[in-house]
Structure 1
């Protein structure tokens, strides 16, 4: 008998109303019921012969496919008797199967198995029909039944993927929250590894306002942007702030600053602060702490770039009472200047007091302007801050003030 196309069968279906038994006699249904196991076995044999990857599966996995196919064959007979109720029961029975299959068979492969099983059924079903009318009804039935099973399989895979995605999102939020709170490193690293994060990846924490009130929308947009930039990220929307951990070979170059600037596009309107880049996720808590401190203090610098490094907000952070900022100002600015000797420290003080006027500073110190230039250049080499730059001048002034206050309190 020639194979019927889907168009032919759907035309026949539309031309006549379906009956409860699909026009099949009780004798034909009994034959099918007795032969369901044989049909299932023939389907698995065809899978082994036509699908090379299937024959390489372990025996227990092939046995699972056979069992699922037998369930489908038995469900087909029940579906022919009562399509609505039987299909509901069959799809429910199949709902848990793809959860097991998905561990070692992808969706494309699972649909291929269903397609091949339907082809085997279509080839062998006519021999069970009493006449040509029943043959056409069987072919129509297996095509429609196979379509429903394929849809049920796809839906189950989609549900499993959504469940995994939801679990991954919760796990990711736990990792980011652990970074912010400074949880135990081992548990945090193991969770991050489960999300595919390389333990040796450098990390930079960025914080700022989210771009939307809908967290899933924020996550989608950030991930799409990070994928375009080729940077691994971990992120979590925590109320009115978005915390992002960006990975990658960051060495402080202009290229890295450009990447951070592009990642900042994913944040909403307002300031975005980037903490220091750390060697691995194990040290990300320090980056998060400084970034959050900078976010609280950035309001004190209206002209701050976006994103702004937390190290560039040391004066504002110190004014908010951040002890870490005070420590960094002393270690990186005040201490090197004091260690260089009173002459260099006195020159920087005099230059700042003169409002940055070189000649005035030179007259105050009774030295040549070139001497002042040399000393300021030496101070810049020691601290990384150029007193002629207004922003660096503020850092120098606050650092020297913090150092004197700490010394007066006996803290330095």
Structure 2
């Protein structure tokens, strides 16, 4: 083994001693089995039972296969020295062949069990990380746990939520992980009740477009994507927006799938989401108010007159081109086009909330 494998030569002495014990145990178990061929060979317990569980992490499955193959080759090369006559040599070779098969199955079983244990532990750890992020309890411990799950240093993170498929929670999360790898996105996922929550890292550009390949892992129904945040510890803000959007999405039956939580600001505001109300007031109403009373008045009249330029112009005693110019100013300031029904609805709710906020200040 030292001659053939550089990685074996570089192993710590403790691990090398464990590997040697496993090899010796394998040869001893073969000898005992060959003496009593009628007895079933308990390879897993007799051979691999001598090694600590941690050895499966220090030695990969591929390396274990190389070690087992080398051990068998060494024994096979010495058969002619051990056997007395051709008949006994043939018996020994046949016995070694049968025992090698048992060793191969036992090796696969040991690593499969180790993988299952690690998988179960990773699933519990991932559920803890997702729960902590949703509750806003992110700290260095959560960072460490996420790193243990393979989470890298991602700076663009968004949370998406929707209904979970009617399947085993572990299968749902595994499917989300596969979809994330295919889309080259880092994913931490968890099933909470009937909801599937995915924390997605590596979101580049428009978050809805970036995470669209993952939408198919959710059950039929709305899928909401929270705003992009810069760090994993800030994921609670994105999760809060996404969850509030999922609750309010029933008010917009024709919402796209997936839909950005920011596109649901008016529905969220009507559903008593204080964050959405604050955003509508601070990012839409106040900039318009600061731009001049004429803009607010023109927008208000235009919306009340069912988006009619001529009707608004008559009430305001201005030319329709003046109304058109002021509405373009509204679009420049807010990014919303009053002539579009969806934008008009958002602007109307922002105006109502802004006026209520102004009254509240006066009181």
Q: TM-score, normalised by structure 2?
A: 0.94
User: Which residue in 1 is equivalent to 2:163?
Assistant: 209
Q: Secondary structure at the match of 1:204?
A: strand
Which residue of 2 is the match for residue 257 of structure 1? Answer: 208
CA drift at 1:249: 4.0
* Distance change >3 Å, CA 213–CA 128, structure 1 → 2: closer
Match for residue 364 of structure 1? 315
Cα 1:411–1:195 shift into 2, 3 Å? farther
Task: Quote the Cα distance in structure 2 between the aligned partners of 1:344 and 1:130.
Answer: 106
* Partners of 2:29 and 2:46 within 8 A in 1: no
Give the superposition deviation at 1:200.
Answer: 3.8
Deviation at 1:96, TM superposition (A): 6.0
Q: Could you tell me which residue of structure 2 aligns to residue 54 of structure 1?
A: 8
The count of residues paired between Structure 1 and Structure 2 equals 363
Partner residue, 2:152? 198
C-alpha displacement of 1:83: 4.0
User: Are the structure 2 counterparts of residues 273 and 189 from structure 1 closer, same or farther at C-alpha, using a change threshold of 3 Å?
Assistant: same
Which residue among 331, 349, 359 is the counterpart of 2:300?
A: 349
The partner residue of 2:61 within 93, 101, 107 is 107
Q: Deviations over 1:87-124 (max 9, x none)?
A: 22663541463734322322112111111111111121
For 1:66, the equivalent position in structure 2 comes to 20
Match of 1:312 in 2: 263
- Offset at 1:333? 1.0
Does residue 1:383 correspond to 2:337, yes or no? no
Offset at 1:196? 1.6
1:272 aligned to 2:223? yes
Structure 2 Cα separation of the partners of residues 260 and 86 of structure 1: 53
CA–CA distance in 2 between the matches of 1:192 and 1:120? 44
After TM superposition, list the pairs within 5 Å mapping 1:102-181 onto structure 2: 102-181=56-135
How far apart, in 1, do the equivalents of 2:70 and 2:153 lie? Answer: 43
Distance 2:307 2:127 in 1: 48
Task: Report the CA distance between 1:261 and its aligned residue.
Answer: 2.1
C-alpha contact (below 8 Å) 2:227/2:241 kept by paired residues: yes
Contact 1:236 1:244 in 2 (8 A): yes
Computed over aligned residues only, the root mean square deviation of the Cα atoms, in angstroms, reads 2.0
Q: Distance in 2 between matches of 1:179 and 1:281?
A: 8
Q: Which runs of 5+ in 2 are unaligned?
A: none
What is the DSSP-based 3-state SS (H/G/I as helix, E as strand, rest coil) of the residue aligned with 1:205?
Answer: strand
Equivalent of 1:394 in 340, 345, 354 = 345
Counterpart of 1:328 (choices 279, 282, 287) is: 279
Is the contact between residue 25 and residue 46 of structure 2 (CA under 8 Å) also seen in structure 1? no
Any idea what SS the aligned residue of 1:103 has?
Answer: helix
8 Å contact 1:201–1:280 — kept in the other structure? yes
Q: Distance in 2 between matches of 1:397 and 1:67?
A: 77
Give the TM-score normalised by the residue count of structure 1: 0.83
Contact 1:72 1:90 in 2 (8 A): no
The answer to whether the Cα contact below 8 Å between 1:75 and 1:86 also exists between their aligned partners in 2 is: no
Which sections of structure 1, spanning at least 5 residues, go unmatched? 1-46
Does the 8 A contact of 1:273 with 1:294 survive in 2? Answer: yes
Distance in structure 1 (CA, Å) of the matches to 2:242 and 2:130: 13
Q: CA deviation at 1:401?
A: 0.7
CA contact (8 A) 2:266 2:346 kept: yes
Q: 1:218 aligned to 2:172?
A: yes
Alpha-carbon distance, 1:259 to partner: 2.6
Judged with a 3 Å threshold, the aligned counterparts in structure 2 of structure 1 residues 266 and 96 are, in CA distance, closer, same or farther, namely farther
Q: Which residue of 2 aligns with 1:232?
A: 186
Q: Cα–Cα, structure 1 residues 90 and 337, in superposed 2: closer, same or farther, change >3 Å?
A: closer
- What SS does the corresponding residue of 1:211 show, helix, strand or coil? coil
Match of 1:31 in 2: none
